[in-house]
Structure 1
Amino acid sequence: MIAKLDLYKVFCQVAKSKSFSKASKELYMTQPAVSQAVMQLERELDIRLFNRTPKGVSLTNEGKLLFEYVNSAINLISSGEEKILESKDLTVGELKIGVGDTISKYFLLSYLEVFHNKYPNLKFKIINGTTSELCDLIKSGEIDIAICNLPINESSLEVIPCGKVKDIFVCGEKYKDLTKKKISLEEMVKYPLIFLEPSSNSRKYVEKFMLSKGIKISPEFELGSFDLLLEFAKINLGIACVVKEFSKEYLEKGLLYEVKILEEIPSRSIGVCYLKKVPLSLASTKFVEILESKKKL
């Protein structure tokens, strides 16, 4: 397999470029050398990896399967090389973090500030995605750590809770009378509801809790942005399910009001995740330490 590593690198670049000529420029190789490397790999594996067309190449079904594993392996090797090259005093290196938009804005920034002040020469690469997308990026080696809404059921990942958040319901002036007393979830769902889209971990958590109480939701609005939840509620389009800690500014300024419910939704955690079987880089280790130390304050 080691002998094929260079061939696999060529294979991956051709798959990404969808062209032998474009791949040759990226690899600083001649086009015939790239074509020969791919043909050699196809001979050794006894399969056809690409469909050749006048406009370029595309992966065969077998090629797609191989690419999924080889690309992940090469990314992990690159990550390993980067970690070895990091200096012990963290004067060089890069920290690749996966995070959702909402957690990035309302949770991560303060930690990044502390870390950057302590290690100013380190570079950051922040990749946004859903929790499931970020888990895949960790497993493929494209990011070092991810900060996600918990729970996460991934046996290959180490998960460390690093902060508590609480889901609440909020409304604008139109529904302000609802804030005078606690109401039941059964009564709540009679009003127009504003939720995050179904694939969101936050939405899944709240929806699972409500189903455990025999309440099924059918939101009038399903949004892909947390900030839009706040804005939609502010202009009286309905009752929004939001994270209390991320909505403080709206609540403190009186732009939104919390609707208290009888069946209080249990607090949940935000956590940092990384591969169990791959040692963290020094930069990642120090960042996780900052997350954990601030949690204890």
Structure 2
Amino acid sequence: MVSKLDLYKIFCQVGKSESFSKAAKDLYMTQPAVSQAIMQLERELDTRLFYRSPKGVSLTNEGSLLFEYANSAINLIHVGEEKILEFKNLTTGELKIGVGDTISRYFLLPYLEAFHIRYPNIKFTIVNGTTLELCSILKSGGVDVAVCNFPIDDPTLELKPCIDIQDTFVYGERFKKILAKPLSLHELVKLPLIFLESKSNSRKYVEDYMISKGIKISPEFELGSHDLLLEFAKINLGIACVTKEFSQEYLNKGLLYEVQLNEKIPTRSIGVCFLKSVPLSRASTKFVEIVEGKQL
């Protein structure tokens, strides 16, 4: 059975060709099949669409009106199909990524660059937030993927760990004598501490670990960014809990020093997460592969 869409495609081709035989050739159909399709459409619409003559066919007034709309619709369908091919071939499209400022600056930028070099026509939209905020945005459809601090306990999300990171404590010149020797976490919490805000996943991970050791923290300062932690520690306002991998510039230049703990905090991960229930777009899939290191 010929579908309604096929009938209109045949109708438009006949309208352009002004001939059943020419339309049949263009459509790789037999002439009787084309003629039968036009008669079927005329019956369904209860309207004569073509004048027939030995020289060919021509549109009636009603047929001309229908052709104007049907041809535009068919053209729009073709444009839509071309756009789908462009998306599949990554020659157009948009990729919405959720990421925090610190992870973006110290981890994600090389991968964004690599993706952009490979697929320059894909537009980036970057949404900033904490891990908790980004998971919520991800589940509401606001971003395609999120790059977050792990661990994340959410069964609706697929998690792809990409890099291990180490939480540590750093200090400035003022605390150099006090912290010349290794010390325990119990001793450390007696000093003025600088942490990220309590809603931060990084803060929660360290705090949960310390609670598991029977240690409660009461920071002197709670800040909104990793860079501020480093700057506050540099001017000797306290001992800052930071990510070691994101603090190397300060440590290498001697602006800050790392606390030597008797027991290191277990490493954790940074990775990509996305909804299990929603298939990734081709652009999202390629981005995840690049961040995982499969295409670098």
Q: Does 1:250 align with 2:250?
A: yes
Deviation at 1:276, TM superposition (A): 0.4
Match of 2:142 in 1: 142
Deviation at 1:88, TM superposition (A): 2.5
CA 1:261–1:282 in 2, change beyond 3 Å: closer, same or farther? same
Match of 1:18 in 2: none
CA 1:233–1:221 in 2, change beyond 3 Å: closer, same or farther? same
Distance 1:274 1:166 in 2: 24
1:205-224 → structure 2 map (5 Å cutoff): 205-224=205-224
Deviation at 1:180, TM superposition (A): 2.6
Match of 1:184 in 2: 184
CA 1:268–1:178 in 2, change beyond 3 Å: closer, same or farther? farther
Aligned to 2:283, the other structure's residue is in SS state helix
Aligned to 1:161, the other structure's residue is in SS state strand
Distance 2:97 2:274 in 1: 10
Unaligned runs of 5+ in 1: 1-80
Distance 2:187 2:84 in 1: 58
Q: Does 1:283 align with 2:283?
A: yes
Distance 1:94 1:103 in 2: 21
Opposite residue 221 of structure 1, the aligned amino acid is F
Aligned to 1:265, the other structure's residue is in SS state coil
Opposite residue 149 of structure 1, the aligned amino acid is N
CA deviation map 1:122-141 (0-9, x unaligned): 11000001111111111111
Aligned to 1:141, the other structure's residue is in SS state coil
Deviation at 1:89, TM superposition (A): 2.3
Opposite residue 292 of structure 1, the aligned amino acid is E
Match of 1:196 in 2: 196
Aligned to 2:266, the other structure's residue is in SS state coil
Aligned to 2:273, the other structure's residue is in SS state strand
Match of 1:9 in 2: none
Q: TM-score, normalised by structure 1?
A: 0.70
Match of 1:14 in 2: none
Partners of 1:86 and 1:282 within 8 A in 2: no
Opposite residue 143 of structure 1, the aligned amino acid is V
Opposite residue 265 of structure 1, the aligned amino acid is I
Moved over 6 A (4+): none
Partners of 1:179 and 1:257 within 8 A in 2: no
CA 1:98–1:134 in 2, change beyond 3 Å: closer, same or farther? same
Cα RMSD (Å): 1.8
Match of 2:101 in 1: 101
Aligned to 1:180, the other structure's residue is in SS state coil
Identity of aligned residues (%): 71
Q: Does 1:234 align with 2:237?
A: no
Deviation at 1:238, TM superposition (A): 0.4
Aligned to 2:108, the other structure's residue is in SS state helix
Match of 1:61 in 2: none
Partners of 1:171 and 1:234 within 8 A in 2: yes
Partners of 1:179 and 1:258 within 8 A in 2: no
Q: Does 1:169 align with 2:174?
A: no
Aligned to 2:261, the other structure's residue is in SS state coil
Match of 1:10 in 2: none
Opposite residue 106 of structure 1, the aligned amino acid is Y
CA deviation map 1:36-65 (0-9, x unaligned): xxxxxxxxxxxxxxxxxxxxxxxxxxxxxx
Q: Name which one, 1 or 2, has greater alpha-carbon Rg.
A: 2
Unaligned runs of 5+ in 2: 1-80
Match of 1:59 in 2: none
Aligned to 2:265, the other structure's residue is in SS state coil
Distance 1:84 1:279 in 2: 16
Distance 1:96 1:86 in 2: 18
Distance 2:86 2:216 in 1: 51
Opposite residue 258 of structure 1, the aligned amino acid is E
Deviation at 1:156, TM superposition (A): 0.9
